[in-house]
Structure 1
Amino acid sequence: MVRTPLTPWERARGERFGALLREARGGRSMVEVAAAAGVSAETLRKIETGRAPTPAFFTVVALASALGMSLDALAEACAAEGTDEDRALSA
């Protein structure tokens, strides 16, 4: 299966998501958070660094739960920082 390339806005959104997860993780180790979410530390590392900018929904839910984050607030924070021009590129 061939995936369509991500737009610049989608890549930037993935980077924002990773930064939000790193910030929410605070002093907790990556291994600790990944184990609490039921994902591998490698998966979390890829998401946090933006190398996996479009994680599966259930991975996002599990990470948000492990970090005590609201999905609504997380979605808003990831989408809010994109510019209108960035969004137009993804259309």
Structure 2
Amino acid sequence: MVRPPLTPAERDRGRRLGALLRAARGDRSPAEVAAASGVSQEALRKIETGRVPTPAFFTVAALAGALDVPLDRLLADLAPDTALTA
């Protein structure tokens, strides 16, 4: 399966996700967060730097749980400025 290239907006959202997770990590070391979440240090580093702009949901959920960040807060912080309608 060939994956289509990411759009600039998707890459930007990945960078913002990384920045949010990095800020939530605060003074904790990447090793500590990796151990608490079950996500490798390498994966955490790549997500925080935006090199993995679309991490799997369960990876984000594990990191959010280890960092005590509600998923709905991450979603709200990453949502585009325009209102989403169903």
Query: Does the pair score TM above 0.5?
Result: yes
| Structure-2 separation of matches of 1:52 and 1:25 | 17
Give identity over the alignment, percent: 68
**Deviation digits for residues 24-65 of structure 1 (CA, Å, limit 9, x no counterpart):** 000000011011000100000000000000000000100000
Q: Which residue of 1 aligns with 2:68?
A: 68
Q: TM-score, normalization: structure 2?
A: 0.91
Quote the Cα distance in structure 2 between the aligned partners of 1:62 and 1:83: 26
> In structure 2, what is the Cα distance between the partners aligned to 1:67 and 1:47?
14
Instruction: State the SS of the aligned residue for 1:3.
Output: coil
The CA RMSD over aligned residues, in Å, is: 1.0
Return structure 1 stretches of 4+ with deviation > 6 angstroms. none
State the match for 1:51 in structure 2. 51
Give the Cα–Cα distance (whole angstroms) in 1 for the partners of residues 39 and 70 of structure 2: 19
Distance 1:20 1:65 in 2: 14
CA distance in 2: counterparts of 1:83 and 1:6, whole angstroms: 19
Residue 4 of structure 2: aligned partner: 4
Give the aligned length: 82
Amino acid at match of 2:4: T
How far is the alpha carbon of 1:78 from its aligned partner? 1.2
Name the counterpart of 2:41. 41
Between Structure 1 and Structure 2, the one with more helix by share is: 1
Counterparts of 1:5-44 in structure 2, within 5 Å, are 5-44=5-44
